[in-house]
């Protein structure tokens, strides 16, 4: 289908995202063999995006086959994120160092959401590379249809967990990127009173889960955890310089909780004594944000037509929050702004990766777009 749609005989590179109802090894092997062993990069997803169509069922898969004289992708995978995310970051740096050229445009990254410490991974990778310019990172944290048990990363016909699949993009091209969210503060601030790395043990002097009881019912805290926790993003204040396009807060999802200690885990490290605001998702803001995203991309590419577009969308902005037809309408309007006939691929993530104000970041509750032109 991907070959037929693109009108190409053979693929140079393949991107693939699939929800976890499918047996991951079987489906990746099938796609890899189908494309004659072309290099393949991707990960498991909560849902998939192809054009302006989304599918958040447990059985959805999207594939983009690329054949180009202008774009060059090389790919790889690194494991051991849980044990040492920094070491994994350094390993990626070691793998890509010799492949970096003057025309390298960016690195696409698809790590395991459940085991990566993104801050440590990124810092170690960037320190090891020691570049005098930003190597932009784009991508999403692999997800597993709200099961929060195991995510998968794909490299060629290899399927692993606790790893990060990557694809380095070089060539006669540029990447236009944009990111924003649609959350607003409830007007209540809280203070992190005990934390370690990305684990928040205490909020306002009480175990984190105790403080959450103000917001979530007992059923939501127990049976409903996995989707209910997405209702209340933690918002960390951002400098005014970046808030106009992005939104007032850096948002963090509570990815997991520990009932023994009452702690919650977020994707990046937080500081003790840091203050955050409880926020909520707002459909109007999200719709405006999508509109703004399209215009930001358009502004960067000017009159050029993108060769392809990647969209990494938070699963908290998917079917748990808006209806399918609303989602389709938003995506259609985005397509109309950026380019209706452009090959467009993406997935619903547990975290989105994209630069903000010149710094590579992992985001929650956002849409990250990368248009290659």
Partner 1 sequence: MDTTADTEKGIAELQKENQQLAEQVRRLVAAENELYRIQSKLDLKLRLYRQLYEVSNQFNATFDLDEVLQIVIQFVLYELNFERCLVLLPTLEGKAFQVQALDGYYTDGEQEALSKFQLSATEPALLPLITKAERIICPANCDQEALRELGHRFHMDEYAILSLGGKGEEPIGLLIAGNSAEMAGNQERVEAEGEAIISLANLANQATTIMKNLRFYQASKRFVPEEFLEFFQKGSIVDIALVIT
Between 199 and 320, whose beta carbon lies closer to partner 1? 320
Q: Does 231 bind partner 1 (CB under 8 A)?
A: yes
Selection from 17, 26, 27 nearest residue 55 by Cα:
17
Q: Is 150 helix (H, G, I), strand (E, B) or coil?
A: coil
Between 134 and 188, whose beta carbon lies closer to partner 1? 188
Segment (H or E) for 16: strand 13-19
Region near partner 1 per CB under 8 A, out of 10-18, 159-167, 185-193, 333-341: 185-193
Nearest distance, CB of residue 328 and partner 1, angstroms = 13
Q: Which of 83, 134, 188, 219 lies at the binding interface for partner 1 (CB under 8 A)?
A: 188
Q: How would you label 328-351 residue by residue, b for 16+ Cβ within 10 Å and e otherwise?
A: eebbeebbebbbeebbbbbbbbbb
Q: DSSP secondary-structure letter at 293?
A: H
Give the Cβ contact number of residue 227 at 10 Å. Answer: 14
Q: Which of 5, 59, 70, 83 lies at the binding interface for partner 1 (CB under 8 A)?
A: 59
Q: Does 148 bind partner 1 (CB under 8 A)?
A: no
Contacts of 271 by beta carbon, 8 Å cutoff, 6+ apart: 192, 195
Q: Does 237 bind partner 1 (CB under 8 A)?
A: no
Q: Does 20 bind partner 1 (CB under 8 A)?
A: yes
Q: Does 284 bind partner 1 (CB under 8 A)?
A: no
CA distance 8 to 67: 7
Q: Which of 90, 181, 252, 319 lies at the binding interface for partner 1 (CB under 8 A)?
A: 319
Q: Does 321 bind partner 1 (CB under 8 A)?
A: yes
Between 30 and 128, whose beta carbon lies closer to partner 1? 30
Q: Report how many residues bind partner 1 under the rule CB under 8 A.
A: 23
Q: Which of 13, 17, 232, 276 lies at the binding interface for partner 1 (CB under 8 A)?
A: 232
Q: Which of 214, 222, 261, 340 lies at the binding interface for partner 1 (CB under 8 A)?
A: 214
Region near partner 1 per CB under 8 A, out of 1-9, 69-77, 313-321, 358-366: 313-321
- The pair of structure tokens assigned to 369 is 């777009």
Between 217 and 340, whose beta carbon lies closer to partner 1? 217
Q: Does 213 bind partner 1 (CB under 8 A)?
A: no
Q: Does 134 bind partner 1 (CB under 8 A)?
A: no
Q: Does 197 bind partner 1 (CB under 8 A)?
A: no
Region near partner 1 per CB under 8 A, out of 9-17, 105-113, 213-221, 299-307: 213-221
Q: Does 145 bind partner 1 (CB under 8 A)?
A: yes
Segment (H or E) for 128: helix 118-129
Contact 31, 40 (CB under 8 A): yes
Contact 295, 244 (CB under 8 A): no
Q: Does 21 bind partner 1 (CB under 8 A)?
A: yes
Q: Does 187 bind partner 1 (CB under 8 A)?
A: yes
Segment (H or E) for 94: helix 85-96
Give the Cβ contact number of residue 127 at 10 Å. Answer: 12
Q: DSSP secondary-structure letter at 157?
A: T
Q: Which of 5, 101, 172, 217 lies at the binding interface for partner 1 (CB under 8 A)?
A: 217
**Cα dihedral across residues 319, 324, 326, 327: positive or negative:** positive
**DSSP-assigned letters across all residues of 165-192:** EEEEEEES--EEEEEEE-EEEEEEEEEE
CA angle 276, 282, 283 (to 5 degrees): 155
Q: Does 291 bind partner 1 (CB under 8 A)?
A: no
Between 58 and 160, whose beta carbon lies closer to partner 1? 58
CA distance 19 to 327: 18
Selection from 6, 5, 61 nearest residue 31 by Cα:
61
Q: Does 257 bind partner 1 (CB under 8 A)?
A: no
List contacts with partner 1 (CB under 8 A): 20-21, 57-59, 145, 147, 186-188, 214-215, 217, 228, 231-232, 278, 280, 319-321, 323-324
């Amino acid at each position: 289908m991907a070959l037929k749609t693109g009108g190409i005989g053979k693929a140079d590179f393949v991107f693939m995202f699939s929800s976890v109802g499918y047996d991951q090894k079987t489906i990746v092997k099938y796609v890899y063999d189908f494309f004659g062993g072309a290099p393949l990069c991707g990960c498991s997803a909560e849902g998939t995006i192809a054009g302006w169509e989304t599918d958040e069922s447990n059985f959805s898969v999207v594939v983009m086959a690329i054949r180009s004289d202008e774009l060059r992708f090389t790919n790889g995978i690194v494991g051991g994120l849980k044990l040492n995310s920094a070491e994994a970051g350094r390993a990626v740096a070691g793998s890509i160092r010799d492949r970096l050229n003057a025309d390298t445009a960016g690195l696409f990254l698809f790590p395991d959401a459940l085991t990566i410490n993104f801050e440590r991974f990124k810092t170690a990778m960037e320190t090891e590379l020691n570049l005098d310019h930003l190597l932009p990172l784009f991508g999403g944290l692999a997800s597993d249809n709200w099961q929060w048990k195991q995510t998968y990363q794909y490299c060629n016909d290899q399927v692993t967990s606790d790893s990060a699949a990557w694809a380095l993009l070089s060539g006669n091209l540029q990447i236009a990127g944009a990111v924003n969210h649609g959350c607003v503060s409830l007007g209540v601030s809280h203070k992190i009173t005990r934390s370690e790395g990305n684990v928040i043990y205490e909020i306002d002097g009480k175990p984190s889960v105790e403080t959450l009881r103000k917001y979530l019912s007992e059923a939501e805290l127990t049976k409903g955890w996995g989707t209910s926790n997405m209702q209340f993003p933690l918002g960390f204040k951002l400098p005014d310089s970046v808030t106009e396009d992005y939104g007032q807060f850096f948002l963090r999802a509570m990815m997991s909780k520990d009932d023994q200690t009452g702690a919650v885990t977020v994707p990046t490290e937080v500081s003790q004594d840091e203050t955050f605001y409880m926020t909520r998702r707002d459909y109007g803001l999200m719709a405006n944000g999508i509109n703004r995203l399209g215009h930001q991309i358009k502004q960067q590419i000017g009159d050029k037509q993108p060769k392809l577009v990647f969209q990494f969308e938070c699963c908290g902005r998917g079917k748990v929050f808006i209806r399918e037809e609303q989602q389709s309408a938003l995506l259609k309007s985005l397509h109309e702004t950026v380019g209706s006939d452009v090959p467009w691929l993406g997935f619903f993530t547990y975290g989105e990766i994209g630069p903000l104000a010149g710094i590579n970041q992992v985001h929650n509750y956002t849409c990250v777009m990368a248009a290659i032109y």
